[in-house]
Amino acid sequence: MTGWVLMSQFLSGLTTAMIYFLIAAGLTLILGVLKIMNFAQGGIYMLGAYTCYTFIKAFGGTNSGFWLTLIIAPIAVAAFFCILEALLMRRFYEKVALYMLLLTYGILIATYDMARMIWGWIIKTAPMPPMFQRPVAIFGHPFPLYNVFLIFMGFFMFFLIWIVIRKTAWGKTMRAAADDREMTAALGINVPLVFTSVFGLGAWIAAMGGALVAPMGGMAADMGIDAGIVAFIVVVIAGLGSLPGALLAAFICGEVQAFGILVLPEFAIAFMYLVLVIVLIVRPWGLFGKPITIK
Protein backbone atom coordinates (compact mmCIF):
# COMPACT_ATOMS: atom_id res chain seq x y z
CA MET A 1 0.00 0.00 0.00
CA THR A 2 2.72 2.49 0.96
CA GLY A 3 4.54 1.61 -2.25
CA TRP A 4 1.47 2.65 -4.22
CA VAL A 5 1.06 5.85 -2.21
CA LEU A 6 4.59 6.87 -3.14
CA MET A 7 4.04 5.79 -6.74
CA SER A 8 0.80 7.73 -7.09
CA GLN A 9 2.42 10.75 -5.47
CA PHE A 10 5.27 10.43 -7.95
CA LEU A 11 2.86 10.24 -10.88
CA SER A 12 0.80 13.21 -9.77
CA GLY A 13 4.04 15.11 -9.21
CA LEU A 14 5.05 14.21 -12.74
CA THR A 15 1.71 15.49 -14.07
CA THR A 16 2.22 18.79 -12.25
CA ALA A 17 5.80 18.90 -13.51
CA MET A 18 4.62 18.61 -17.12
CA ILE A 19 2.23 21.52 -16.68
CA TYR A 20 5.03 23.57 -15.13
CA PHE A 21 7.33 22.60 -17.95
CA LEU A 22 4.86 23.70 -20.62
CA ILE A 23 4.43 27.12 -18.96
CA ALA A 24 8.16 27.53 -18.43
CA ALA A 25 9.42 26.23 -21.79
CA GLY A 26 8.00 29.14 -23.76
CA LEU A 27 9.33 31.60 -21.20
CA THR A 28 12.84 30.17 -21.27
CA LEU A 29 12.83 30.18 -25.08
CA ILE A 30 11.80 33.85 -25.19
CA LEU A 31 14.29 34.71 -22.48
CA GLY A 32 17.09 32.86 -24.22
CA VAL A 33 16.61 34.37 -27.66
CA LEU A 34 14.88 37.71 -27.10
CA LYS A 35 16.59 38.41 -23.74
CA ILE A 36 13.36 39.62 -22.19
CA MET A 37 11.57 38.46 -19.06
CA ASN A 38 8.05 37.97 -20.37
CA PHE A 39 5.62 38.42 -17.47
CA ALA A 40 2.76 38.01 -19.94
CA GLN A 41 3.58 34.31 -20.32
CA GLY A 42 1.16 33.39 -17.53
CA GLY A 43 -1.53 35.42 -19.27
CA ILE A 44 -0.91 33.54 -22.52
CA TYR A 45 -1.27 30.25 -20.65
CA MET A 46 -4.55 31.44 -19.12
CA LEU A 47 -5.90 32.62 -22.49
CA GLY A 48 -4.92 29.23 -23.94
CA ALA A 49 -7.05 27.50 -21.33
CA TYR A 50 -10.06 29.77 -21.89
CA THR A 51 -9.82 29.58 -25.68
CA CYS A 52 -9.67 25.80 -25.41
CA TYR A 53 -12.79 25.91 -23.24
CA THR A 54 -14.65 27.96 -25.86
CA PHE A 55 -13.62 25.69 -28.74
CA ILE A 56 -14.41 22.45 -26.89
CA LYS A 57 -17.86 23.82 -26.10
CA ALA A 58 -18.32 24.93 -29.73
CA PHE A 59 -17.40 21.47 -31.00
CA GLY A 60 -19.88 19.87 -28.58
CA GLY A 61 -17.35 18.11 -26.36
CA THR A 62 -16.57 15.29 -28.78
CA ASN A 63 -13.26 13.45 -29.17
CA SER A 64 -12.52 14.83 -32.61
CA GLY A 65 -13.54 18.27 -31.36
CA PHE A 66 -10.92 17.99 -28.63
CA TRP A 67 -8.14 17.11 -31.08
CA LEU A 68 -9.21 19.93 -33.38
CA THR A 69 -9.19 22.30 -30.40
CA LEU A 70 -5.65 21.29 -29.49
CA ILE A 71 -4.58 22.30 -32.99
CA ILE A 72 -6.62 25.50 -33.37
CA ALA A 73 -6.71 27.12 -29.91
CA PRO A 74 -2.95 27.48 -29.26
CA ILE A 75 -2.36 28.74 -32.80
CA ALA A 76 -5.11 31.34 -32.42
CA VAL A 77 -3.64 32.61 -29.14
CA ALA A 78 -0.10 32.58 -30.55
CA ALA A 79 -1.24 34.56 -33.59
CA PHE A 80 -2.77 37.19 -31.33
CA PHE A 81 0.47 37.56 -29.39
CA CYS A 82 2.54 37.68 -32.59
CA ILE A 83 0.55 40.72 -33.62
CA LEU A 84 1.03 42.23 -30.18
CA GLU A 85 4.77 41.64 -30.37
CA ALA A 86 5.03 43.25 -33.80
CA LEU A 87 2.93 46.25 -32.75
CA LEU A 88 4.21 46.93 -29.25
CA MET A 89 7.25 45.05 -28.10
CA ARG A 90 9.44 45.13 -31.18
CA ARG A 91 10.63 48.68 -30.60
CA PHE A 92 11.85 48.04 -27.05
CA TYR A 93 14.45 45.29 -27.47
CA GLU A 94 17.32 47.75 -27.61
CA LYS A 95 16.07 49.93 -24.74
CA VAL A 96 16.45 49.54 -20.96
CA ALA A 97 15.25 46.16 -19.62
CA LEU A 98 12.87 47.91 -17.24
CA TYR A 99 10.50 49.14 -19.96
CA MET A 100 10.13 45.64 -21.34
CA LEU A 101 9.37 44.26 -17.86
CA LEU A 102 6.72 46.93 -17.35
CA LEU A 103 5.26 46.43 -20.80
CA THR A 104 4.84 42.66 -20.39
CA TYR A 105 3.43 43.25 -16.90
CA GLY A 106 0.91 45.66 -18.41
CA ILE A 107 -0.07 43.07 -21.01
CA LEU A 108 -0.44 40.45 -18.25
CA ILE A 109 -2.89 42.46 -16.15
CA ALA A 110 -4.77 43.60 -19.25
CA THR A 111 -5.28 39.97 -20.35
CA TYR A 112 -6.43 39.17 -16.82
CA ASP A 113 -9.31 41.64 -17.04
CA MET A 114 -9.94 40.77 -20.68
CA ALA A 115 -10.57 37.17 -19.65
CA ARG A 116 -12.94 38.30 -16.91
CA MET A 117 -14.81 40.50 -19.39
CA ILE A 118 -15.14 37.81 -22.06
CA TRP A 119 -15.63 34.67 -19.97
CA GLY A 120 -17.06 36.11 -16.78
CA TRP A 121 -16.03 35.87 -13.14
CA ILE A 122 -17.31 32.37 -12.45
CA ILE A 123 -14.86 29.46 -12.48
CA LYS A 124 -15.21 27.54 -15.75
CA THR A 125 -14.51 23.87 -16.42
CA ALA A 126 -14.03 22.47 -19.91
CA PRO A 127 -15.67 19.03 -20.41
CA MET A 128 -13.30 16.06 -20.41
CA PRO A 129 -13.28 14.42 -23.88
CA PRO A 130 -15.18 11.09 -23.74
CA MET A 131 -12.17 8.95 -24.67
CA PHE A 132 -10.33 10.10 -21.55
CA GLN A 133 -13.21 9.59 -19.14
CA ARG A 134 -11.82 6.37 -17.72
CA PRO A 135 -8.88 5.39 -15.55
CA VAL A 136 -6.05 3.11 -16.61
CA ALA A 137 -4.55 0.42 -14.37
CA ILE A 138 -0.99 1.06 -13.24
CA PHE A 139 0.29 -1.84 -11.12
CA GLY A 140 -3.33 -2.79 -10.60
CA HIS A 141 -4.32 0.62 -9.28
CA PRO A 142 -6.55 3.08 -11.15
CA PHE A 143 -4.96 6.27 -12.44
CA PRO A 144 -6.69 8.93 -14.62
CA LEU A 145 -5.98 8.30 -18.29
CA TYR A 146 -5.86 12.03 -19.00
CA ASN A 147 -2.93 12.46 -16.63
CA VAL A 148 -1.03 9.78 -18.53
CA PHE A 149 -1.82 11.65 -21.74
CA LEU A 150 -0.60 14.89 -20.20
CA ILE A 151 2.71 13.31 -19.13
CA PHE A 152 3.12 11.95 -22.64
CA MET A 153 2.34 15.37 -24.13
CA GLY A 154 4.93 17.01 -21.86
CA PHE A 155 7.70 14.77 -23.17
CA PHE A 156 6.36 15.05 -26.71
CA MET A 157 6.47 18.86 -26.55
CA PHE A 158 9.98 18.76 -25.12
CA PHE A 159 11.27 16.67 -28.02
CA LEU A 160 9.33 18.75 -30.53
CA ILE A 161 10.81 22.04 -29.29
CA TRP A 162 14.24 20.49 -28.97
CA ILE A 163 14.17 19.26 -32.57
CA VAL A 164 12.90 22.64 -33.81
CA ILE A 165 15.70 24.49 -32.05
CA ARG A 166 18.53 22.05 -32.75
CA LYS A 167 17.73 20.45 -36.09
CA THR A 168 15.86 22.94 -38.30
CA ALA A 169 17.06 25.94 -40.26
CA TRP A 170 14.60 28.08 -38.30
CA GLY A 171 16.18 26.93 -35.03
CA LYS A 172 19.67 27.71 -36.33
CA THR A 173 18.60 31.24 -37.28
CA MET A 174 17.07 31.62 -33.84
CA ARG A 175 20.26 30.60 -32.08
CA ALA A 176 22.33 32.84 -34.32
CA ALA A 177 20.08 35.82 -33.59
CA ALA A 178 20.31 35.05 -29.87
CA ASP A 179 24.10 35.04 -29.99
CA ASP A 180 24.68 38.14 -32.08
CA ARG A 181 21.82 40.23 -33.41
CA GLU A 182 23.89 42.61 -35.49
CA MET A 183 25.95 39.92 -37.18
CA THR A 184 22.85 37.90 -38.01
CA ALA A 185 21.20 40.98 -39.45
CA ALA A 186 24.36 41.70 -41.47
CA LEU A 187 24.05 38.26 -43.04
CA GLY A 188 20.77 39.36 -44.58
CA ILE A 189 18.43 37.69 -42.11
CA ASN A 190 15.32 39.57 -41.10
CA VAL A 191 15.97 39.58 -37.35
CA PRO A 192 12.70 41.29 -36.28
CA LEU A 193 10.79 38.59 -38.15
CA VAL A 194 12.82 35.86 -36.42
CA PHE A 195 12.06 37.49 -33.07
CA THR A 196 8.35 37.63 -33.82
CA SER A 197 8.41 33.96 -34.79
CA VAL A 198 10.26 33.03 -31.58
CA PHE A 199 7.78 35.00 -29.52
CA GLY A 200 4.97 33.25 -31.38
CA LEU A 201 6.52 29.84 -30.73
CA GLY A 202 6.92 30.65 -27.04
CA ALA A 203 3.31 31.83 -26.88
CA TRP A 204 2.17 28.70 -28.72
CA ILE A 205 3.86 26.43 -26.15
CA ALA A 206 2.31 28.29 -23.21
CA ALA A 207 -1.12 28.33 -24.87
CA MET A 208 -0.79 24.59 -25.55
CA GLY A 209 -0.05 24.13 -21.84
CA GLY A 210 -3.19 26.08 -20.99
CA ALA A 211 -5.27 24.12 -23.51
CA LEU A 212 -4.05 20.80 -22.09
CA VAL A 213 -4.86 21.89 -18.55
CA ALA A 214 -8.36 23.13 -19.45
CA PRO A 215 -10.22 19.79 -19.10
CA MET A 216 -8.48 18.97 -15.80
CA GLY A 217 -10.08 21.44 -13.47
CA GLY A 218 -11.59 24.87 -12.98
CA MET A 219 -10.07 27.90 -14.61
CA ALA A 220 -10.11 31.44 -13.31
CA ALA A 221 -8.62 34.64 -14.66
CA ASP A 222 -5.98 34.81 -11.93
CA MET A 223 -4.48 31.45 -12.86
CA GLY A 224 -2.24 33.39 -15.24
CA ILE A 225 -0.68 35.48 -12.48
CA ASP A 226 0.12 32.41 -10.39
CA ALA A 227 1.30 30.38 -13.38
CA GLY A 228 3.57 33.25 -14.39
CA ILE A 229 5.42 33.10 -11.11
CA VAL A 230 5.73 29.29 -11.24
CA ALA A 231 7.18 29.53 -14.73
CA PHE A 232 9.56 32.16 -13.47
CA ILE A 233 10.77 29.91 -10.62
CA VAL A 234 11.28 26.96 -12.96
CA VAL A 235 13.24 29.09 -15.41
CA VAL A 236 15.47 30.58 -12.73
CA ILE A 237 16.21 27.16 -11.20
CA ALA A 238 16.90 25.81 -14.67
CA GLY A 239 19.21 28.60 -15.74
CA LEU A 240 17.98 31.28 -18.10
CA GLY A 241 17.36 29.98 -21.59
CA SER A 242 18.03 26.29 -20.97
CA LEU A 243 15.37 23.89 -22.27
CA PRO A 244 16.62 20.58 -20.75
CA GLY A 245 17.17 22.57 -17.55
CA ALA A 246 13.53 23.67 -17.65
CA LEU A 247 12.40 20.03 -17.90
CA LEU A 248 14.60 19.01 -14.96
CA ALA A 249 13.61 22.04 -12.87
CA ALA A 250 9.92 21.47 -13.59
CA PHE A 251 10.39 17.84 -12.55
CA ILE A 252 12.09 18.91 -9.30
CA CYS A 253 9.38 21.48 -8.53
CA GLY A 254 6.54 19.08 -9.29
CA GLU A 255 7.98 16.24 -7.23
CA VAL A 256 9.09 18.45 -4.32
CA GLN A 257 5.53 19.71 -4.12
CA ALA A 258 3.94 16.24 -4.44
CA PHE A 259 6.12 14.70 -1.74
CA GLY A 260 6.15 17.86 0.34
CA ILE A 261 2.41 17.42 0.84
CA LEU A 262 3.11 14.02 2.45
CA VAL A 263 5.70 15.44 4.85
CA LEU A 264 4.53 18.97 5.70
CA PRO A 265 1.15 19.65 4.04
CA GLU A 266 1.15 23.22 5.34
CA PHE A 267 4.29 24.21 3.43
CA ALA A 268 3.74 22.40 0.12
CA ILE A 269 4.08 25.55 -2.02
CA ALA A 270 6.89 27.01 0.05
CA PHE A 271 9.10 23.99 -0.78
CA MET A 272 9.35 25.20 -4.34
CA TYR A 273 10.52 28.60 -3.17
CA LEU A 274 13.00 26.92 -0.86
CA VAL A 275 14.51 25.08 -3.84
CA LEU A 276 14.61 28.42 -5.64
CA VAL A 277 16.51 30.17 -2.87
CA ILE A 278 18.98 27.32 -2.37
CA VAL A 279 19.71 27.42 -6.09
CA LEU A 280 19.97 31.22 -6.03
CA ILE A 281 22.52 31.11 -3.23
CA VAL A 282 24.58 28.14 -4.41
CA ARG A 283 24.33 28.64 -8.18
CA PRO A 284 22.77 32.05 -8.92
CA TRP A 285 22.93 31.29 -12.64
CA GLY A 286 20.76 28.14 -12.27
CA LEU A 287 21.41 24.45 -12.78
CA PHE A 288 22.15 24.61 -16.50
CA GLY A 289 22.93 28.28 -17.02
CA LYS A 290 26.25 29.90 -17.76
CA PRO A 291 27.83 31.77 -14.84
CA ILE A 292 26.93 35.44 -14.96
CA THR A 293 29.73 37.96 -14.59
CA ILE A 294 29.96 38.86 -10.93
CA LYS A 295 31.57 42.17 -10.16
Partner 1 sequence: MPQKAKKGFFTRNLWLIIVVAFFAVFPLWSPVIWKHLATEIFIIALFAMSLNMILGRGGLPSFGHACFYCVGGYTTAIFTMKLHLPFSVAILSAPVVAAIFAAVIGFFSVRLTGIHFAILTLGFSQLVWAVAHKWYSFTKGDDGITGIPVPAGLGKITAYYYFVFFILIICLILIRVIQNSPFGNTVLAIRENRERVTFSGLKVWHHLWLNFVVAGFFAGLAGSLLVLLNRAVFPDFGYWTKSAAVVLMCIFGGVGVFIGPIIGAAAITLLEHYISIYTFYWQLALGCLIILLVIALPGGISGYIQDRLRQREEKRITPEVG
At CA 104, angle to CA 103 and CA 110, rounded to 5? Answer: 90
At CA 70, angle to CA 17 and CA 54, rounded to 5? Answer: 105
Q: Which is nearer to partner 1, 35 or 141 (CB)?
A: 35
Contact 226, 272 (CB under 8 A): no
Residue from 36, 198, 206, 256 touching partner 1 (CB under 8 A): that is 36
Residue from 7, 109, 148, 189 touching partner 1 (CB under 8 A): that is 109
Is residue 37 close enough to count as binding partner 1 by CB under 8 A?
yes
Phi-psi region of 116 (alpha: psi -120 to 50; beta: other; left: phi over 0): alpha
217-220, long-range: CB < 8 A, 24+ apart: 217/125, 218/123, 218/124, 218/125, 219/46, 219/49, 219/50, 219/53, 219/123, 219/124, 219/125, 219/126, 220/123, 220/124
Is residue 249 close enough to count as binding partner 1 by CB under 8 A?
no
Residue from 117, 138, 160, 262 touching partner 1 (CB under 8 A): that is 117
Q: Which is nearer to partner 1, 127 or 192 (CB)?
A: 192
Q: Which is nearer to partner 1, 221 or 248 (CB)?
A: 221
Residue from 225, 259, 261, 283 touching partner 1 (CB under 8 A): that is 225
Residues that bind partner 1 (CB under 8 A): 35-37, 39, 88, 91-92, 95-99, 101-103, 105-114, 116-117, 225, 229, 232-233, 236, 240, 266-267, 269-270, 272-274, 276-277, 280-281, 284, 292, 294-295
